[in-house]
Structure 1
Amino acid sequence: MLLHLVHETRYAYTPTVESAHHVLHLRPAIHPGQQLLRHQLTITPPPARLQELTDVYGNCRSYFSLHTPHDRLTVVADSIVSTLALSTGPENTLAGLPWEQVREQFRYQAGAAYDSACEFVFASPYVPRDEAFAEFARPSFVSGRPLPEAAQDLMERIHETMTYDSKSTEVGTPALEALQLGKGVCQDFAHIMVACCRAMGVPARYVSGYLLTSPAPGQPRLIGSDASHAWASVYCPVESESAGMALADGQSPGVWLDFDPTNNRAPGEDYVTLATGRDFLDVSPMRGVIRGGSRHVLNVAVTMTPITKLPEAE
């Protein structure tokens, strides 16, 4: 699927902002199911400095600074992405280890080789360790169950138990509070699934991105009507002998399987991945520090449109 994605962020400040420093995660990722064909970042007013770096999780992170007074800031990320549905469901033979075996693989052992996935077993700022997550997860993680099946069941139970309510939580709402409330938004659903997996000793990470929405029958697509989305990804390793692949230091054979508890489905070609991290704090689309501008109005518009061919370059 060929998708044209426009993510527009507009700030209006009162009083004027004297200087600002911002970090962006707005460049779509590149992975086996997703290729970035074109990307353009437009910032108004033009920044004094703009730099792109790769963060510790492999995401493209943009940094820019503004040193002149401004009462408006507009950031537009315009991308064209080609997506492909991958067969990485529970039936995948490379991902069928019992969950207890995966847990044991990621227990601390003196002298064991480093595995980069182990970082996603530990607590993070938005995903704390708490017995409530383990208690919720246990019915899905029954003895001997293959990890993909356990994660699938956990996703379904979160979807059935939680109520989607766009006004129930805020960006900084902890996952535990959302679980106790029994409602939240996609960020909360993803955080809860990540927290439950980690509580069982299984590596899980947070994924930020977009989901293509469909208008009502007979209605045109609305500009700016889409939104950022989030889901969870669970790491499913395999025995090195059966993988038959050469790996870099710090990596083990296996796959990251994506689960969307908000929509109770596996992400497919109608999803676009922006970035992955321990939780939302690692991959927020835009955050920063400003001097001045004690009050602001924020407007975010996302439009993702299927296209049939690559537009001519301007």
Structure 2
Amino acid sequence: MSEPDDAPIRYRVRHLTEYRYSNNVAVCQNQVRMQPVTGGNVTCEQTELSIAPEPTSRDEHIDYFGNRVITFSIEAIHKSLTVDVESIVAVSANITTDSQPSPQWETLLATSPNERHRPKIDEHRFGSPRITPADPYAKYAASSFSPQRSIIDAALDLTRRINADFKYDTTATTVATTTQEAFSLRAGVCQDFAHVEIACLRSMGLAARYVSGYLRTLPPPGKERLIGADESHAWVEVYAGDTIGWLGLDPTNACLVAADHIPVCIGRDYDDVSPMRGVVLGGGTNTLKVSVDVEPIADA
């Protein structure tokens, strides 16, 4: 018997990060945000993080936004660092336009009617380290947000316009490119597209946040799936009222977020969710290799 279309999809995800250094590293300290947590439309069945060389110390905590964070240090001479994360998750389809009524976007400009959730929503209406709401973003977004239009229709229209107006170009920007620069260039990658859309939504007075995770990709017809060829991905969530909650939007692919999207971390922008950050003492120059593999798996 086949499963219903809305049955959760189970995935095995592996994210492998490898650093090689030209000189010895005496000490390194790092934070890792690559492990999913159960919540929303995701159930994390299993997750394991391996580090080589073996850390001198290792701690774990849940940050302000609910993300799982591993902090570790290696206080021994080494010339390489490997961080290997393997997880099994089940992802359900999100609420769609067919399953819930969508409120008009103007009704969401003030606060959530649910006072218990109000602070966690309102904090995403304002500026963050990488995103400053401004008139140019509001002017760009305005044509999508006509009076009395539903939040889903308006936000999805904006998502599609960004996809059409901005060129996906891996050479146009870097991880340090500002939102303003990406907006001016009309080019970038998923991180830039997400930052621009969040800037537009916040400039319209709406609550919007950044999501990092993975996207299941399908090989061309007749081709085998390439192991390790997937990538990290980023998208946007806009608050769409207490019934719908946070609505996922993917400007890189001009679509609503579905069960093909596997969320890992949420935050105000990329600075809150970067997969790995840290400092090293020594090391000279380094080379970085990242491999991501997203594999759908059958139920046991």
* TM-score, length basis structure 1: 0.88
User: Is 2:225 aligned against 1:221?
Assistant: yes
Partner of 2:105: 99
Equivalent position amino acid for 2:14 in 1: V
Equivalent position amino acid for 1:257 in 2: L
- The one-character-per-residue Cα deviations of 1:33-56 (angstroms, maximum 9, x if unpaired) are 211111111100011111111100
Aligned mates of 1:88, 1:58 — CA distance in 2:
24
From 25, 40, 46, give the equivalent of 1:32.
Answer: 40
Aligned length: 290
Percent identity of equivalent pairs: 38
Partner of 1:52: 60
User: Is 2:76 aligned against 1:68?
Assistant: yes
Aligned mates of 2:168, 2:117 — CA distance in 1:
41
Moved over 6 A (4+): none
Structure 1 contact 5–80 (Cα < 8 Å) conserved: yes
Partner of 1:251: none
> How much does 1:114 deviate?
5.1
SS at match of 1:26: coil
Structure 1 contact 169–178 (Cα < 8 Å) conserved: yes
- The one-character-per-residue Cα deviations of 1:126-185 (angstroms, maximum 9, x if unpaired) are 112222111111111111222222111110111111111111110011111111111110
SS at match of 1:105: coil
User: Is 2:246 aligned against 1:256?
Assistant: yes
From 225, 228, 235, give the equivalent of 1:231.
Answer: 235
User: Is 2:135 aligned against 1:144?
Assistant: no
From 149, 155, 158, give the equivalent of 2:159.
Answer: 155
Change (3 A) 1:89 1:67: farther
Partner of 1:277: 267
Equivalent position amino acid for 1:303 in 2: D
Aligned mates of 1:153, 1:193 — CA distance in 2:
11
Q: Which runs of 5+ in 2 are unaligned?
A: 1-8
Change (3 A) 1:143 1:90: farther
> How much does 1:100 deviate?
2.0
Change (3 A) 1:138 1:271: same
Structure 1 contact 212–305 (Cα < 8 Å) conserved: yes
Partner of 2:4: none
SS at match of 1:64: strand
User: Is 2:24 aligned against 1:16?
Assistant: yes
SS at match of 1:269: coil
From 273, 277, 286, give the equivalent of 1:287.
Answer: 277
Partner of 1:250: none
Aligned mates of 1:265, 1:27 — CA distance in 2:
25
User: Is 2:258 aligned against 1:268?
Assistant: yes
* TM-score, length basis structure 2: 0.92
SS at match of 2:200: helix
User: Is 2:295 aligned against 1:305?
Assistant: yes
> How much does 1:87 deviate?
2.4
Aligned mates of 2:223, 2:160 — CA distance in 1:
31
Aligned mates of 1:188, 1:37 — CA distance in 2:
31
SS at match of 2:109: helix
> How much does 1:13 deviate?
1.2
Structure 2 contact 111–122 (Cα < 8 Å) conserved: no
Partner of 1:88: 96
Greater displacement, 114-123 / 83-92? 83-92
Aligned mates of 2:95, 2:142 — CA distance in 1:
27
Partner of 1:109: none
Aligned mates of 2:117, 2:36 — CA distance in 1:
31
SS at match of 2:196: helix
Aligned mates of 2:232, 2:155 — CA distance in 1:
23
> How much does 1:73 deviate?
0.1
SS at match of 1:104: coil
